[in-house]
């Protein structure tokens, strides 16, 4: 239950369970990320200007996605590296059965029992080290949308298991994913399913993971949803929302003209917004659309476009509603 330690914007000492909006937490930056390696390669080959642009991604804290079997070692490695620098790891748990109803990223645990075992492994990797964990992007919103592969009661029970198991770790903050403001425009549709999925035991919910909705839209949406959930706080993925959403077809999949958004920070200017996070790693493909590689694969040209389009001052938080 330790207090947050004041630190620079790009990293941070993790606060304990009691932290929230206004407390400064410094998140861990992976020195060997795809963006960091790309910037280094471009410097070696004389592409200095492009390397400087890539630094806009490489120097920011980004989430580590746990998407396959055996998460313990990776979780332990990331949280240990962060702790060694007095910082906080950001992790995404993404292994729920039938995790992508549209099959763009596919995969997930083969069944409920396997998923519970995976969650236990993940939690064991956390130990007592500091971490923010986003639980299962799309899982609740996808179920509400009517994914035919999912039995709602089973999925909600698995999510509740994950929330409870992660929350037992003393220095882990847990945010259950709640989709984005454009997916289910009426946030009240999500309130019941989120309650069934254990939101009462979580630190809050996550919005806009891997999407492009503006911080203002997410803040307004989140404030309404929070009111339906007894005042729960939330975090916003601002990794690629600097230019807001794309209005053409397949607006979710590698849309052109997008830009980096607010850099990761817990100083948000909004009491309900615990943090702006870069949950989606800028430059990782959404899927094989618009010439992109498979979902989750590094795409240097797209990363460079996001960085090039970022406005000066993009790293300044945008205050949301005051209550």
Q: Has residue 103 got a pLDDT over 70?
A: no
Q: Is 50 a catalytic residue?
A: no
Average pLDDT of the chain is 90
Q: Is 215 a catalytic residue?
A: no
Q: Has residue 4 got a pLDDT over 50?
A: no
CA distance to 21, 238, 261, 273, 281, per residue, from 317 (Å): 12, 10, 9, 11, 18
| Residue 157 falls inside a structural domain | yes
Q: Is 100 a catalytic residue?
A: yes
Catalytic residue among 30, 34, 50, 100: 100
Q: What is the CATH number of the domain that holds 286?
A: 3.20.20.40
* Of 57, 41, 3, 40, residue with least CA distance to 25: 3
H-helix segments, 197-310:
215-228, 300-309
| Residue 321 falls inside a structural domain | no
pLDDT tens-digit map of 231-288: 999 999 999 999 999 999 999 999 999 999 999 999 999 999 999 999 999 999 999 9
Q: What is the dihedral of CA 221, 222, 224, 230, to 10 degrees?
A: 170
Residue 293 confidence class, pLDDT cut points 50, 70, 90: very high
For 135-153, the three-class secondary structure string (H helix, E strand, C coil) is ECCCHHHHHHCCCCCCCHH
| Residue 106 falls inside a structural domain | yes
Catalytic residue among 177, 274, 286, 315: 286
Residue 101 confidence class, pLDDT cut points 50, 70, 90: confident
| Residue 43 falls inside a structural domain | yes
Model pLDDT, residue 106 = 66
Model pLDDT, residue 105 = 57
Model pLDDT, residue 190 = 98
| Residue 317 falls inside a structural domain | no
Model pLDDT, residue 158 = 98
CA 34 to chain centre: 17
Q: Of the ranges 8-22, 92-106, 177-191, 214-228, which one carries the lowest mean pLDDT score?
A: 8-22
Number of domains in the chain: 1
| Residue 122 falls inside a structural domain | yes
Mean of pLDDT values over 14-42:
79
Are the beta carbons of 181 and 221 closer than 8 angstroms? yes
| Residue 16 falls inside a structural domain | no
Are the beta carbons of 206 and 175 closer than 8 angstroms? yes
Catalytic residue among 30, 34, 50, 138: 138
Residue 100 confidence class, pLDDT cut points 50, 70, 90: confident
Model pLDDT, residue 107 = 82
Give the domain extent around 91. Answer: 34-309
Q: Has residue 1 got a pLDDT over 70?
A: no
Rounded CA gap, 183 and 137, in Å? 13
Rounded CA gap, 34 and 62, in Å? 11
| Residue 67 falls inside a structural domain | yes
pTM of the model: 0.91
Model pLDDT, residue 93 = 98
């Amino acid at each position: 239950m330790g207090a947050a330690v004041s630190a620079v914007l790009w990293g941070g000492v993790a606060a304990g369970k009691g932290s929230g909006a206004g407390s400064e937490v410094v998140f861990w930056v992976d020195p060997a990320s795809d963006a960091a390696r790309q910037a280094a390669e471009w410097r070696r080959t004389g592409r200095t200007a492009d390397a400087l642009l890539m630094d806009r991604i490489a120097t920011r804290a980004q989430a580590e996605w746990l998407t396959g079997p055996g998460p313990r070692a990776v979780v332990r490695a990331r949280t240990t590296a962060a702790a060694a620098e007095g910082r906080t790891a950001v992790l995404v748990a993404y292994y729920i059965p039938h995790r992508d109803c549209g099959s763009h990223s596919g995969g997930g645990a083969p069944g409920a029992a396997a998923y519970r075992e995976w969650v236990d492994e993940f939690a064991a990797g956390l130990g007592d080290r500091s971490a923010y964990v986003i639980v299962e992007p799309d899982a609740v919103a996808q179920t509400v949308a009517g994914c035919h592969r999912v039995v709602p009661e089973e999925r909600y029970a698995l999510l509740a298991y994950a929330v409870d198991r992660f929350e037992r770790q003393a220095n882990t903050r847990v945010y259950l994913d709640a989709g984005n403001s454009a997916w289910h425009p009426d946030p009240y549709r999500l309130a019941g399913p989120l309650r069934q999925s254990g939101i009462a035991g979580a630190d809050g919910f996550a919005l806009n993971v891997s999407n492009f909705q503006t911080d203002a839209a997410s803040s307004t949406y989140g404030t309404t949803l929070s009111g339906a959930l007894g005042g729960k706080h939330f975090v916003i993925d601002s990794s690629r929302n600097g230019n807001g959403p794309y209005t053409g077809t397949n607006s979710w999949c590698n849309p052109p003209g997008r830009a980096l958004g607010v850099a990761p920070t817990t100083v948000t200017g909004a009491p309900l917004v615990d943090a702006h996070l870069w949950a989606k790693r800028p430059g990782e493909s959404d899927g094989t659309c618009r010439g992109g590689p498979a979902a989750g694969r590094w795409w240097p040209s797209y990363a460079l476009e996001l960085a090039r389009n970022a406005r000066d001052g993009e790293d300044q938080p945008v205050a949301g509603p005051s209550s």
